[in-house]
Structure 1
Amino acid sequence: MPEKETFEKLAYITIKEKILSGKLRVGDHIAEASIASELNISRTPVRKALAQLEAEQLIETKANRGATVIESEMSAGHFVSLLEIVEMLVLQTISKLENKRIPFDAQIFEEKKEMLRKHLQKKHEDLYMEVLFDSLKSFVHHMQNSYADRFIQMLESDFDLKAQKEIKVLPIILAEETEKGMNSVLKNLQNESYEEAKKDVKELINKFIVQTFR
């Protein structure tokens, strides 16, 4: 990835994390110069990151006022951008499991899968979502990265409070595909087939993205 795109992505993730964590609240001004100084980059990638966040309706930019955090719903574009960050975090977790030779205990996830199945059968959709996010948090926690842990927690809160109805039903619509994907990921991790596990993750996230725009 070209250096400029890397800086832009860094600025994008940094600002979004500040918004989702509440460090930047509705009405707060986002200073390009401050973000650029914090990340030790130029203001150009920060400006491009702000443009992307504005397209996701997280901020608005006005002449002579700059960028300001606004109240927003979770649009389809916003949801997809979050899915892409989730994919990145899960893939990094798998890489850490491989590189650090961290033992992977699949039993806890087998138990969570069973809980998901029961909640789905009983049409307890809220409980299903709780366990689904808990499974994601438990997996990403293998990274031992406080940013990753906070991001998943913020994603759950953001999804619950801001997701539009058509987005909130996606995990239920894709419940069968999610279970198949989890089964394959767990099996490949147990077999230490890390690249295959990464493929499984990418395929599952892509199914969510495709379904988002249907």
Structure 2
Amino acid sequence: MPNNITLEQKAYEEIKKFIIQGKYSPGTYITEASLVKDLNMSRTPIRRALVKLESSGLVKHFKNQGSMVQNIQITLIDIVNFFECRLFLGIGSIEKAKRKMLDFPINEMYECTQLLKNAVADDDHDLYYLEANRYHNLILQTSQNDLLMETIGALQNKFEIIASKYYSYRRSSVENHIKQYEELTKFFEEKEYDQALKLYNEIMKEKIQSLF
């Protein structure tokens, strides 16, 4: 996580990670008191994190009982639809950058690709999935559209709980994806937007096809 992450965001990410990993399974009640112990953190950031988790649909608060982890049912078609949404939004973000000559966060993108390489070297599927998502969000972030980021963030929080079971992690395919991300970042750096659009389309269509 970035060094400047807030305690609230850290609490949110940790609780979400425990939900994804199954430590907090659907139907489990988690309380501020139990989370203070699990996270070694004060109540205030935990309370705020739980509010954010509830808004994402991951937990539901019940008075005097705590927050219950929700059982989210998502189909393969739902995952495909999510990837298609990301594709359309990504194209829009790149086209906006082309019109307005906006700069992409190149340093962060290269940092992502390096972390993706580290994930492959360490066979760390969770880190790979996290950084791949971050890379795509950096593309969308360039649109400078807060509503777009809020929408994709809420969808991503909902989907990532079970998306990994559909997520293809074949070493040959992920290594090729990293090379594509590096090439795409180079196009962004050189403001070769048409080439970037073409490659982005190829990347996303390959990801969708890999689900079947």
1:185 equivalenced with 2:184 (yes/no) = yes
- The root-mean-square deviation of aligned C-alpha atoms, in Å, is 2.6
Question: Quick one: structure 1 residues 100 and 207, their matched pair in 2 at CA, closer, same or farther if it must change by over 3 Å?
Answer: same
The count of residues paired between Structure 1 and Structure 2 equals 147
State the SS of the aligned residue for 1:174. helix
CA distance in 2, matches of 1:204, 1:77: 19
Which residue is equivalent to 2:147?
147
User: What is the one-letter code of the residue matched to 1:177?
Assistant: N
Deviation at 1:72, TM superposition (A): 4.9
Deviation at 1:81, TM superposition (A): 0.8
- 1:10-68: CA deviation from partner (whole Å, max 9, x where unpaired): xxxxxxxxxx954xx9xxxxxxxxxxxxxxxxxxxxxxxxxxxxxxxxxxxxxxxxxxx
Structure-to-structure mapping, 1:1-214, within 5 angstroms? 21-22=56-57, 72-163=72-163, 165=165, 167-170=166-169, 174-213=173-212
User: What is the one-letter code of the residue matched to 1:192?
Assistant: K
Deviation at 1:161, TM superposition (A): 1.8
- 1:134-158: CA deviation from partner (whole Å, max 9, x where unpaired): 2222221111212321233223322
Provide the TM-score with structure 1 as the length reference.
0.60
Which residue is equivalent to 1:40?
none
Is residue 170–residue 211 contact of structure 1 (8 Å, CA) maintained in 2?
no
Which range moved further: 135-144 or 114-123? Answer: 135-144
User: What is the one-letter code of the residue matched to 1:134?
Assistant: R
Deviation at 1:198, TM superposition (A): 0.7
Is residue 75–residue 164 contact of structure 1 (8 Å, CA) maintained in 2?
no
CA distance in 2, matches of 1:120, 1:170: 9
Provide the TM-score with structure 2 as the length reference.
0.61
User: What is the one-letter code of the residue matched to 2:183?
Assistant: S
Deviation at 1:186, TM superposition (A): 1.4
CA distance in 1, matches of 2:138, 2:188: 15
CA distance in 1, matches of 2:92, 2:171: 26
Is residue 73–residue 164 contact of structure 1 (8 Å, CA) maintained in 2?
no
Runs of 5+ consecutive residues of structure 1 not aligned to the other structure: 1-19, 26-70
